[in-house]
Structure 1
Amino acid sequence: MKSLTVDQISADRVTILAQSYWSPDTKDSHLPFDPKIIEDIYETEIKGLDFSTRRIVVLELSQYLENYVWPNYSEDSTPAHLMSVIVLINEKFRERVPAFTSFEVHPTPFPTFLRQLMKSCLDTLSFSIKEQMLMIIFLNHLYNSIECDLIRNGISNTVSYNILECLSSGQLQCIFKIFPNWAKGLKRTARHRKKIEGEELENFDFDTKFIYNLINLFLERLESNSERR
C-alpha cells in the first residue's frame, strides 16, 4: 500500500468531515453529533470499500475513533457503530500502537459495547462473514488484553468457574479429580447466581454460555462447509 501524501489527506472526504465534526483543530466550531455520519462512513468508506486498509488508515489518522465514534457510543448505537469501533481498534493492533487507550480514557460506554459485541458474535443473520471474522479477531485482541482492568472485569464472567456448567456431569467429574478446588469455585458461583435476578441474571447466564455457544457456532460452520464439499 502506497503512503498517502499530505495533499491527498487534506483533500480527502474524511478529512473534510473531520473538520466539521471531530477534528481537535476545529473543536470550537464542531457540528452536533449526528449518528448518520457514522452510518454513512461505515457504509461508504469501510464496508462499501471492502474494509480497505487505505481508507481505514485515513480514518485512524483523523482520530475518528477517539473523538467521535467511541465518545458517542451508547445503548442505542447501531451495528454500523459497533463495527466501526471494531475495525478501528483492529487497525491499531495491525499498526502495533496502543489500542485501548480510548476505552481507558472514556470507560462509560464499555459495558454496553461489550454486551452488544458478544451478542453480535453469535448473530449469523445480521452480519456478513467478513464482519463476523473481524469481530472474532477483535474478540481475540480483547481476551489477550486482560492486563487492562476495564477489559478484565468486563470479560471475567465468560472465563470464570461458572462456565464449567456447560460441561456434562461426566466431564465435570473428570476435571474435579484433577482440580478438586474447582468444585468449590463452581459452588460459589451457583450460590451467587441464586442471589441475582432480572437483567443481571440474564446477563450472567449469557456470559456463562458465551464461549461454549461460540465454539458450537464454529463447529457448525466447519460441518456446514464440509457438507458443501
Structure 2
Amino acid sequence: MTKVYGTGTYDFRRHRVAEYPLATPADSKARDRLTKIAEANWLTSSDAAARVKELDPDLVRKIYETELLVKEGSKPVPLQRVMILEVSQYLENYLWPHFDPLTATFEHVMSIIIMVNEKFRENVAAWTCFHERKDAFKGFLERVLRLKEGRELSIAEKTNYLVFMINAFQSLEDEVVSRTILRLASLKSWHSLSYGRFQMELCLNPGLIKKWKRMIKKEPVKGGGSHLDPSTTVEVMFVRNLIEEFLEILDSQSIANEEVFEASGG
C-alpha cells in the first residue's frame, strides 16, 4: 500500500513532503509528456537503434520555451524537467548529433548549454559526446561566445550562460574545450584595459613588452595598411563585457530593492 505522509504524530526530524500519496518515479516518468516526446524522437533501444528522427527545429524551440525556459521565480532552470531530458539523453541523441554551427537556432544552442550544465551538476562526464565531432564543437563554442550579440537574454538565461562559461573554464584539461576557451584569457584581452591601467601593467610586467610588440605585428591589417580595431574581436571584449553586464545587473537590482524599500515606508 502506498504510504501517505501527513498522518499520525508529526515527526519534526523528518523532512515534510506533500500530504498525498506519493507516485513512484517510474509512474511519474511514464506519464510525463517529455518521455513521450523522447520515445517518439530520440530514445533508442537494442531493437530499434536507428529510430532517431531528423532534427525538427520547431520541436527544439518548443521544448526550450515550454520546458527549459524559466519566466518567473529565482531558479535558472526547472530542475525536474532538465533531469528527465538528461535521463532520456536529449543531448547525446538529439541536440548534438543534429547540431550545425551555421544553422543552429538560439534555442538549440541554449538547450545544449543547459544540458551540459546539468551534467556538471550531476557530476558526470560532460564533454565526452563532443569528442567525435571536434570541429563542430569548436563551431558550437564560437556560437556560444557570440550568442548575446544583438539579443537581450533574461536573467535566467544569463545565469545559465555564466554557469556554462564557468564550467568551460574549469575544464581546460579537455583539449576540445581549451583550444577555444583559452583564447579569452590571452594577452589580447589587455586591449580592453584603460590606457593608464595598461601602462601600469606593462611596468609591473616588463617581460611582456616584447611579447606585446610581437603580438601587435601579427595582428591582421586592413587594406589601407592600418590594423583592425581590436575591440571588435571576441578575445578582447568577452571578459570585459561579462564584467560590465554583471555590474549592470547589480546596479539594477540595487535600485529595485531601494524602490521596494521606499514603497514599503522603510
Determine if the TM-score, normalized by the shorter chain, exceeds 0.5: yes
Match of 1:117 among 139, 144, 158: 144
Q: Can you list the C-alpha shifts for 1:4-47, whole angstroms capped at 9, x where unaligned? A: 62343244322222222212313333332212221121122222
- Post-superposition Cα deviations, 1:173-226, rounded to whole Å, max 9, x if no partner, equal 2212222222222223212213699xx998972221111122122222223333
Q: 1:5 to 1:196 in 2, by over 3 A?
A: farther
State the distance in 1 between where 2:41 and 2:231 align: 35
Secondary structure of 1:28's aligned partner: coil
Written as runs of structure 1 = structure 2, the 5 A alignment for 1:204-223 is 205-223=233-251
Once superposed, what is the RMSD of the aligned Cα atoms? 2.8
Residue 154 (str. 1) matches residue 180 (str. 2):
yes
Q: Displacement, 1:95? A: 0.7
Alignment of 1:34 onto 2:56: yes
- Name 2:42's counterpart in structure 1: 22
Contact 1:157 1:208 (C-alpha < 8 Å) held by counterparts: no
| Matching residue within 89, 94, 117 for 1:68 | 94
Partner-residue secondary structure (3-state), 1:120:
coil
Moved more, 139-148 or 4-13: 4-13
TM-score, normalised by the number of residues in structure 1: 0.86
Aligned length: 226
Tell me, yes or no, if the aligned pair for 2:114 and 2:160 is still in contact at 8 Å: yes
After superposing the two structures, state which structure 1 stretch, 32-41 or 140-149, moved more.
32-41
- Indicate the SS of the match to 1:24: coil
Q: Match for 1:37: what amino acid?
A: L
TM-score (norm 2): 0.75
State, as a whole percentage, how many aligned pairs show the same letter. 31
The equivalent of 2:211 in structure 1 is 185
Q: 1:174 to 1:154 in 2, by over 3 A?
A: same
2:202 — aligned with what? Answer: 176
Q: Pick which of 95-104 and 18-27 moved more.
A: 18-27
The 3-state SS of whatever aligns with 1:194 is coil
| AA matched with 1:9 | K
Query: Within 2, Cα distance between the matches of 1:221 and 1:70?
Result: 32
Structure with the higher fraction of residues in helix conformation: 1
Matched-pair contact (CA < 8 Å) for 2:44–2:51 = no
In structure 2, runs of 5+ residues without a counterpart are 1-16, 259-266
Structure 1: 5+ residue stretches without partners = none
Does the 8 Å contact 1:107/1:150 carry over to 2? yes
Paired residues of 1:121 and 1:214 also in contact (CA < 8 A) = no
Distance 1:205 1:15, change over 3 A: same
Query: Does the residue aligned with 2:147 lie in a helix, a strand or coil?
Result: helix
Q: Which amino acid aligns with 2:209?
A: A
